[in-house]
Structure 1
Amino acid sequence: MRYKDPNGLFVDLQFKEQIEAQHAKHVLAIPIYNNQIVLTHHKIRGIELPGGKVEKNETNKEAVIRELYEETGAKAKCAMFIASYIVHDKIPFDKDVYIVNVEEIFEKNDYLETYGPIIVDNINEVNEEDKSFLLKDKAILTCLERVYELGFLK
């Protein structure tokens, strides 16, 4: 799927069952806990799905599990790759997307750049003005739709 984002940049989104080559420098988690979605409240951007940068010597799957824990305190039971997308800017920006089944959520003293977890039945429960631009992004919303289509959320 190809579309133009609000900044006029082309975005390519592809659903896949497995990573063909680990090239994305960023990851995004769609965490599911007791049939609910685990979001995080970023201190600057607002409410969004957890994710971030892949660190040196780290696989993308390891990165998504780490980012999820850092931003929400959620311990992953398993993570399944479902999609990748690339934003065609001067320096292209790519991201791998994972469905993550959450085993448990721990309270932490520090969630780094976030205020911690927010658990919702549906992202429509989040006020529009509280949503990060990422939670309004067509690629991310399409990935969320895919999670429902695959039966991971009801």
Structure 2
Amino acid sequence: MYKFKDYYRNEVTLSFKDHPFSDAPKHVWVICKHKGKWLLTKHKERGLEFPGGKVEESENAKQAAIREVMEETGGAVETIQYVGQYYVSGRKDYIIKNVYFAEVKALIPQDTYYETEGPVLLEKIPENVKRNKQYSFMMKDEVLKHCMNYIKDRKNRQ
């Protein structure tokens, strides 16, 4: 388990155990790859980030993750794996979010990408993302770093 402060100085607790904070989280974040490249989206206000969002009443978190990838990038998910879950203790409320890793088999052009400008493919995620104004605040705390390491370690064990 990891504890740290996020971009806004809220306390974050991240775990790679199976749903340690909630069996029904209300938010998801999906680290994606497509043809060996990282698949992000460009949020119209926040900047570059991996797709994610809220779980709707009619779906579970995994279904929401697949839907969010399609809505924000046009990505058709081929495989998706639970990575971990984190708890953000905000000033007035809290958020519990599942993190997934998805392999995307195709990018399907969309009429709308909702609050984003659609897919962005990158060879690598820059190391200086914390200081890069192009990137969303969601890419600037240790959730990304720890999850990327976890994904890499899991791949090396396979």
Fold-level match, TM-score > 0.5? Answer: yes
Q: CA deviation at 1:73?
A: 0.1
Q: Give the % identical residues.
A: 35
Cα distance in 1 between the residues matched to 2:55 and 2:71: 13
> Does residue 1:150 correspond to 2:151, yes or no?
no
1:150 & 1:36 partners in 2: Cα distance? 18
- Paired residue for 1:58? 59
| Cα distance in 1, alignment partners of residues 93 and 126 from structure 2 | 32
Bigger mean CA offset, 47-56 vs 101-110: 101-110
Segment of structure 1 superposing worse, 103-112 or 69-78: 103-112
Partner residue of 2:137 out of 119, 133, 139: 133
1:102 — aligned with what?
104
Contact 1:19–1:81 (Cα < 8 Å) also in 2:
no
Listed one character per residue, the Cα deviations across residues 93-150 of structure 1 (whole Å, up to 9, x for unaligned) are 1100001111111111210100000011211187812011111121122212222222
Matches of residues 78-117 of structure 1 in structure 2 within 5 Å? Answer: 78-89=79-90, 90-117=92-119
Q: 1:4 to 1:100 in 2, by over 3 A?
A: same
Moved more, 47-56 or 30-39: 30-39
Matched residue SS, 1:146: helix
Cα shift at 1:13: 0.2
Contact 1:22 1:60 in 2 (8 A): no
SS in 2 for 1:129: coil
Moved more, 142-151 or 50-59: 142-151
Distance 1:133 1:6 in 2: 6
Task: Count how many residue pairs are aligned between Structure 1 and Structure 2.
Answer: 151
Distance 1:72 1:5 in 2: 25
Matches of 2:126 and 2:3, distance apart in 1: 24
Query: How far apart are the structure 2 equivalents of 1:140 and 1:117?
Result: 19
What letter matches 1:95 in structure 2? K
TM-score normalised by structure 2 residue count: 0.88
User: What are structure 1's unaligned runs of at least 5 residues?
Assistant: none
Partner SS, residue 94 of structure 1: strand
Q: Given residue 13 of structure 2, which amino acid in structure 1 is its aligned partner?
A: D
